[in-house]
Amino acid sequence: MKEVGFSYLDELNEVQRQAVTALDGPVMVIAGPGSGKTRVLTYRIAHLLNHQVPPYQILALTFTNKAARELKARIENTAGMNANKIWAGTFHSLFARILRVEAHRLGYPNDFTIYDTDDSKSLINEIIKTMGLDKKAYNTNAVRARISSAKSNLITPKMYAVNEDMQSYDRMNRRPMLYKIYEAYTKKCKRAGAMDFDDLLLQMFRLLYQNPDNIRVKYQQQFRYILVDEFQDTNFLQYEIIKLLLMYDNAPHNICIVGDDAQSIYSFRGATIENILKFTHDFPKTQTFKLEQNYRSTEHIVAAANEVINYNKKQIQKKIWTEKDGGSRIKIIKAMTDNEEGRRVADTIIEQKNRFHLSSNEIAILYRTNAQSRVFEEHLRRFNIPYKIYGGLSFYSRKEIKDVIAYMRLAVNEKDDEALKRVINYPRRGIGPTTIEKIRVLADDNDLSMWECLSQIKFSARAANSIGKFVQLVKTTQEKSKTESAYAVAVYIAKNSGITAQFKAEGTIEAQGRLENINALLDGVQEWVEDDVLEEGEEATVKKGLAEFLQTISLMTDQDDSEKEQTEAVTLMSVHAAKGLEYKSVFVVGLEENLFPSYMSLSSPDQLDEERRLFYVAITRAEQYLTLTHSNSRYQFGQMRFNDPSRFLEEIPDDHVEASISRHREKDIIGTPKKLQGLFKPLAKANALAMDPKDFKPSPMKDLKEGMRIMHLKFGEGKVKHIDESKVATIYFDNLVENQEKRIMLKYAKIQILE
């Protein structure tokens, strides 16, 4: 073992050193972003080892296996091989380790099976089928999420059955038998000697609470020192287990929690900010240390973060500071459309790479919902900027998007076997794998497409009925695609295939995200249909049908860069996924009311506070350059909608902002701090982009003449310079900063003649 000294304390600032060396009693470390949280946690464990605390008496709880591995590696580097004997890991992994020894005390075998998500869903699906319940009402994912929530709040099946609030909620959602499913699921898991992930916490609580054979004392005596990382992310059940390990007569309460209430952003997973806010109430003798020095970001970014988070009422007061003086001001880009927002972000990335010599992997684009990635992916591809999706798939690679597109492909070409195999039984319509295989074999034997074989096989009555409905759906979309726009056909598919209905029925956070992705796809189709601007060299013969749309996106998605690992690429991710990461340059995009903050948060002060904490997390990922963008209009649910800028933009102090507004070229705006209040109010009615689409009345294009003043729905006022023989107008737009001349196809134009 390597010799361990105390020299590591010299690497800490004064507050960090105090937090590391205060070993006894309850300690709360409030760690602001970039303040050296992991170092404090690591050195505190090293200091315990240096004070002769046996490593097996140290319990360090984390939230990810990656964090646990990093913690162990750092401890080993600091304190030697003793790190291997420390109980460091996730809540689930460490409690599973204990239950492997003690499960028999609860009526489980010690070699119990751990059910993963698919196992749980399969069992729930079987129960729903056995009980003869409606699969649409009792959606498997929704039922599983409800059971998981009950377990996390210590609600047993018996308690669930008599809880009127829960029963009322289930009746309202047409699931009055859900408590019976929960009861049957629990019994079947127990009978199978299995625990799901939630059970690993629930059964650990039972073990300590019911205290068979005085087992609680055993673990209270073993774990003399408990450390919890990211404490703000703990849920009710996790904190109750921690308290059971600590609450006993004459207990020293040697617990150290490390976290930041300002970064509590996981309430949708059951995390409760109340745990960290009320910690000192539960442990009155707590010593509190605030790590307020930020080693990551420049002064402008840190100051903006402080001001923004101060708008939240429920918080532990602190003031983050940095020694990184000055730096670039925060850049705010106001785009006219979400499409322009994507282009200007790509423009700015190229500028930063050239001007500041940034590499692509030093840049990140953060958005509120994964569905927003589409427009940025498209523009990064156009500019040939390599990118990667962190913690998720490229937009067109997501399952729900590929499913909808498969229906589109069949509407254009029913002989597309891959598309047919993908959706013939999705959503489920009772066409099983045996039936599909029978169709495939017949197709191969007779050199036919699978579609052509659908009418040649004798199916069971049930399968025949389901296949008949599927065939009719495809035929109807084919007919519609001949006469209607790509958008109209796409909407018909999304609704009539049952895909959107399935996700609406689930009612889970995951299902909501998938619905948002599908709506983003539909918005992309509508935007493509209504795009009347011709690119350089593009002919005016462009059609706007479904086949042309599919060709457009296939050219975009067939670049196959998934197989070529990009060693240097711009990172795209949701803000939730960005927590704990840092980049030299960060773009936070889509900063509009109802998007960020989310429309779902606006009715609840607590949820709005969490949205603000999410914004706080987003802006504190930036080390040197922070760019905030919003769009005056974007396609939502197939309509162009005009949006107010996010309230969070007005909460940023003027002194730290450089505003860049696409509609204005006044010298007192660009490059000079100015009162933001006026910049972020909705534009006046007289301006082009303030016009509600419902009030916009396009003029007949046959009346359009050269020299006329016009109003374009997206680009505002302009003057017609030329109309060529192919009915393409060249128009000069007054309010555009760049590319003021546009070539507009009059066939698709949204133009109102003014004079």
Q: Show the tokens assigned to 37.
A: 């949280």
Residue 376 CB coordination number (10 Å): 27
CA distance 455 to 467: 9
Q: Choosing from 102, 196, 199, 230, which is the catalytic residue? A: 230
Strand 363-367 versus strand 58-62 pairing type:
unpaired
Helices 546-557 & 486-496, crossing angle to 10 degrees?
A: 80
Catalytic status, residue 229: yes
Q: Can you tell me whether residue 642 is helix, strand or coil? A: strand
CA distance 125 to 144: 10
Residue 293 — φ and ψ, nearest 5°? -85, 125
CA distance 570 to 592: 23
Which sign, positive or negative, has the C-alpha torsion 468, 474, 480, 485?
Answer: positive
Question: Which residue type sits at 313?
Answer: K
- Residue 272: exposed, middle, or buried by beta-carbon count in 10 A (0-12, 13-18, 19+)? buried
Which sign, positive or negative, has the C-alpha torsion 577, 581, 587, 592?
Answer: positive
Residue 300 CB partners (closer than 8 Å, separation 6+)? 326, 327, 328, 329, 330, 626, 656
Which sign, positive or negative, has the C-alpha torsion 566, 567, 571, 574?
Answer: positive
Which sign, positive or negative, has the C-alpha torsion 506, 272, 46, 205?
Answer: negative
Which sign, positive or negative, has the C-alpha torsion 354, 356, 362, 365?
Answer: negative
CA distance 653 to 661: 17
- Tell me how many degrees the CA angle 14-16-20 measures, rounded to the nearest 5: 115
CA distance 331 to 585: 11
Q: Choosing from 229, 240, 523, 592, which is the catalytic residue? A: 229
Q: Can you tell me whether residue 670 is helix, strand or coil? A: strand
Catalytic status, residue 234: no
Residue 388 — φ and ψ, nearest 5°? -140, 150
- Are the C-beta atoms of residues 227 and 255 closer than 8 Å to each other? yes
In angstroms, the Cα distances linking 34 to 264, 302, 579, 666 are 15, 10, 11, 37
Residue 210 CB coordination number (10 Å): 11
- Are the C-beta atoms of residues 93 and 68 closer than 8 Å to each other? yes
- Are the C-beta atoms of residues 428 and 466 closer than 8 Å to each other? no
Residue 449 CB partners (closer than 8 Å, separation 6+)? 414, 415, 417, 420, 443
CA distance 55 to 57: 5
Catalytic status, residue 621: yes
> Element (H or E) spanning 414, and its range?
none
Question: Which residue type sits at 385?
Answer: I
Q: Choosing from 17, 37, 144, 216, which is the catalytic residue? A: 37
Torsion of CA 441, 447, 450, 454, to 10 degrees: -90
Report the candidate in 374, 361, 346 with the shortest Cα–Cα distance to residue 556: 374
Q: Show the tokens assigned to 201.
A: 């916490």
Q: Show the tokens assigned to 370.
A: 């994964």
Helices (runs of H) and strands (runs of E) counted in the chain: 30, 21
Catalytic status, residue 263: yes
In angstroms, the Cα distances linking 280 to 23, 277, 410, 545 are 17, 8, 61, 63
- Are the C-beta atoms of residues 741 and 729 closer than 8 Å to each other? no
Q: Show the tokens assigned to 19.
A: 């937090």
Q: How many CA atoms lie within 13 A of 33 on its CB side?
A: 29
- Are the C-beta atoms of residues 659 and 332 closer than 8 Å to each other? yes
Q: Choosing from 238, 263, 272, 571, which is the catalytic residue? A: 263
Q: Choosing from 44, 296, 334, 621, which is the catalytic residue? A: 621
Which sign, positive or negative, has the C-alpha torsion 10, 11, 14, 16?
Answer: negative
Enumerate the active-site residues. Answer: 37-38, 229-230, 263, 621
